[in-house]
Amino acid sequence: MPVLHNRISNEELKARMLAETEPRTTVSFYKYFTLDDPKAFRDSLYIQFNKLKVFGRVYVAKEGINAQISVPQSHFATFKTVLFSAHPALEQLRLNIALEDDGKSFWVLRLKVRERIVADGISDETFNPAQVGEYLQAERVNQMIDDPNTLFVDMRNHYEYEVGHFENALEIPSDTFREQLPMAVEMLQEQKDKNIVMYCTGGIRCEKASAYMLHHGFKNVYHVEGGIIEYARKAKEQGLPLKFIGKNFVFDERMGERISEEVIAHCHQCGAPCDTHTNCLNDGCHLLFIQCPSCAEKFAGCCSDTCREELKLPREEQRARRAGRENGVKIFNKSKGLLQATLHIPEPKK
């Protein structure tokens, strides 16, 4: 029986990836369809992807598949054959190729079975995710964005919206998609007669969001096909003006793809124009925030003086401090407070 998960340390895997000389292509894709046996599907796909040295995150559930991966260019044609033949619903599936890509986005394959391919918090059994809004391609997007009877609704997290969004798009200020869905319904109640255009990074969230809006009585619901990634690619190919301003946040090592030259965000430490996300280098923090080059030098890649000083401590003392803290995703939110000013330090053992 082949090993169906990774057994090598992240440090070694990352070093191996950085030492690679063959170019890689970063690609994302998703599909809502019914899987009767997600685990068997997952195991079969893992074996085939692993042979092709595919890296990245793939989530499989009864409702379909969601993936962000990188593939060696010499294996890309074979990868498409494997994927398209894995299930009838995946034949000729649309692939979103990264706009800016150094091939260093992932270093390990993680293929997991989950309850949902995107966490939505929906428990209503009458909800039909297959009844979605109308797809919009780049040219139609540009036409509708200038229509005063149309609202563009960003179905991404607040920190994604902060660095880039469609012109005049409505932000649903939340940390998670599951919180956004009911918030969007509530915020748009008085706009039911307007055209509602949902969008997200690659299409998976806004497609489900469009179905959710239809389920709650909205009539004229649309979503951007392939999300920001596909919109930007098609707009550039067709010579259309870009209506998305700034940077598109992505969930891999790159943390962003430049769409337009405008920098619409600011450093969370000094307020200078900047749209570069980073994680605090202190392993006891790892806060996700925006940091300019000047502050990166001043704070040694950390989010605060506190974290910078902790980073200077001997590794054993750093580990002892981390042992007394709660783990979890930490994201800077302008509306909820300042950068990390204090860190819990456990009492020394007597």
Lowest mean pLDDT among 17-21, 52-56, 124-128: 17-21
Strands 288-290 and 277-279: antiparallel
CATH number belonging to domain 134-246 = 3.40.250.10
Is 200 noted as a catalytic residue in this protein?
A: yes
φ and ψ at 33, to 5 degrees?
-160, 170
pLDDT of residue 329: 61
- Helix 204-215 vs helix 177-187: crossing angle, to nearest 10: 40
pLDDT tens-digit readout, 336-346:
555 555 555 55
Chain Cα centroid distance, residue 17: 21
Question: According to CATH, where is 3.30.70.100 located in the chain?
Answer: 10-113
Give the distance between the most distant pair of CA atoms in the chain. Answer: 69
Read off the pLDDT of each residue in 109-136 and give the average, rounded to a whole number.
Answer: 90
Residue 220 is classified by DSSP as S
pLDDT tens-digit readout, 216-235:
999 999 999 999 999 999 99
CB atoms closer than 10 angstroms to residue 233 = 16
pLDDT tens-digit readout, 130-145:
889 999 999 999 999 9
pLDDT of residue 40: 95
- Helix 76-84 vs helix 38-51: crossing angle, to nearest 10: 160
pLDDT of residue 296: 96
Question: Among candidates 172, 192, 193, which has minimal Cα distance to 183?
Answer: 172
pLDDT of residue 337: 53
- From CA 99, how far away is CA 252, in angstroms rounded? 13
pLDDT of residue 128: 85
Question: Among candidates 260, 262, 261, 265, which has minimal Cα distance to 276?
Answer: 265
Residue 174 pLDDT class (50, 70, 90 cuts) = confident
The amino acid present at 270, given as its one-letter code, is C
pLDDT of residue 123: 86
pLDDT of residue 83: 97
Q: pLDDT over 70 for what percent of the chain?
A: 89
Give me 213's structure tokens: 């809006």
Q: Which residue has the higher pLDDT, 98 or 248?
A: 248
Catalytic-role residue among 200, 280, 292, 302: 200
Q: Which fold has domain 10-113?
A: Alpha-Beta Plaits (3.30.70)
Residue 328 pLDDT class (50, 70, 90 cuts) = low
pLDDT value at 6 more than 70: no
pLDDT of residue 262: 95
CB atoms closer than 10 angstroms to residue 73 = 12
Read off the pLDDT of each residue in 322-338 and give the average, rounded to a whole number.
Answer: 66
